[in-house]
Amino acid sequence: MIELTTPISEEQIRKLKIGDSVLLSGTVVTGRDAAHKYLIENFIRSGGEIPPQEKALHDRLKELLKESVIYHCGPVVRKDEQGKWHFVAAGPTTSIREEPYQAEVMEYFTLRGVIGKGGMGPKTLEGLKKVGACYFHAVGGAATLIAECCKEVIEVHKYQEFGPPEAFWVLRVEKFPLVVTMDSHGGSIHEKILEDSRKALESLEI
């Protein structure tokens, strides 16, 4: 089992290969469909013109995501009597919806990893190679167990605008169990599964 703590260096990521088991600690940020669309439209494809009202969040996300990890997650949350947020369930959501955006987001923010389920496509795989990042598969159906690894909600952004599942939640995690299923060398377990499935289909006599 390999233990990693954010910020993660490119050298550390380049050592990882598909099939490696990882325990991740440190700061991660959640982001799903609305979050990725927001990053693309307001920052990455804005032609350098960042809306003034979004400048503070841009700079904060640049700081938070550099050499860190974005988690495809729509959590169930609660607020305690002191007004502090807690994750009740934090299972991964399907990652392929972010395929049109992920490579650009990784490069712009110098991400070292993406957490989700189901894997991603060729555009993201090329992005992983270019930036020096990995796709980490989190176990689906274990949302409550994963929430136990989310030790603290540090802050949240775009809560009112996007709602709880789509907001940027900034978390401190401890020993979050993950498996590398796409690495920075072009390896992809998901690609192999797809290839094997196609071969099996072609071999069937219909």
Contact call for residues 131 and 106 (beta carbons, < 8 A): yes
| Helix residue ranges, H only, the chain | 10-14, 33-39, 55-65, 102-109, 122-131, 143-149, 159-162, 189-203
Rounded Cα–Cα distance for residues 49 and 63 (Å): 19
Tokens representing residue 100 in the block:
């049109």
Q: 140 in helix, strand or coil? A: coil
**Shortest CA distance to 89 belongs to which of 102, 78, 103?**
78
Q: Which of 36, 72, 137, 190 is catalytic?
A: 36
Residue 150 Cα distances to 27, 62, 81, 102, 145, angstroms = 10, 22, 19, 23, 9
Rounded Cα–Cα distance for residues 75 and 172 (Å): 14
Rounded Cα–Cα distance for residues 143 and 74 (Å): 10
36 is catalytic: yes
Rounded Cα–Cα distance for residues 71 and 167 (Å): 11
Active site residues: 36
